[in-house]
Amino acid sequence: MQDCLLHVPNANEESITDYLVWKWRLLDKRFNYISIATHSHNQESTTSGADFEMELWFVGRAFSLPLLFQAKKLVKPYDGYMRRLRYPNGSQRQLRLLLQYARLTGRHPYYALYATPDHTGGPSCNCVDATRGGVFVVELGPA
């Protein structure tokens, strides 16, 4: 994932999500424990506020965990993180729509943050794994 973010810097969130969905479906071929559905741009902006839904099944299909994700690509230090989370135009409309849709559908809302390493501690820094990027998941609270 980190290689994709570093080597295809112009890839948008939807492209990264499509890549991840493909990888998750490849992993799931053997287990059949995951269901993933992506949302169209229109559905995201008018109905759900989400880029994709994921449902994880535990112990067969007796128990599932329905998740709802809004993806944000954060690719360099000070990349306007707060602006991205308050989308659009500082209104937080997307976040409010995501939380509302999560409540209506009984899903658990999360941010999926697609991030590259932005560590600048220099060669003498002893930070562990500070150069790693990838997908970071942030819980947004109960549905």
The per-residue pLDDT for range 19-34, each reduced to its tens digit, is: 888 888 888 787 778 8
Confidence of residue 9 (pLDDT cuts 50, 70, 90): confident
Residue 133: how many CA atoms within 13 Å on its side-chain side? 19
CA distance 121 to 72: 24
The per-residue pLDDT for range 91-122, each reduced to its tens digit, is: 889 999 999 999 999 999 999 888 876 645 44
Higher pLDDT, 77 or 97: 97
Which CATH number among 3.90.700, 3.40.50, 3.30.70, 3.40.1350 corresponds to the domain 2-119+130-139?
3.40.1350
Q: What percent of the chain has pLDDT over 90?
A: 25
| Domain chopping of the chain, boundaries | 2-119+130-139
CA distance 2 to 19: 12
Buried b (16+ CB within 10 A) or exposed e, 84-114: ebeeeeeeeebbebbbebbeeeebbbbbbbb
pLDDT score recorded for residue 125: 47
Indicate the pTM of the whole model: 0.76
CA distance 87 to 140: 15
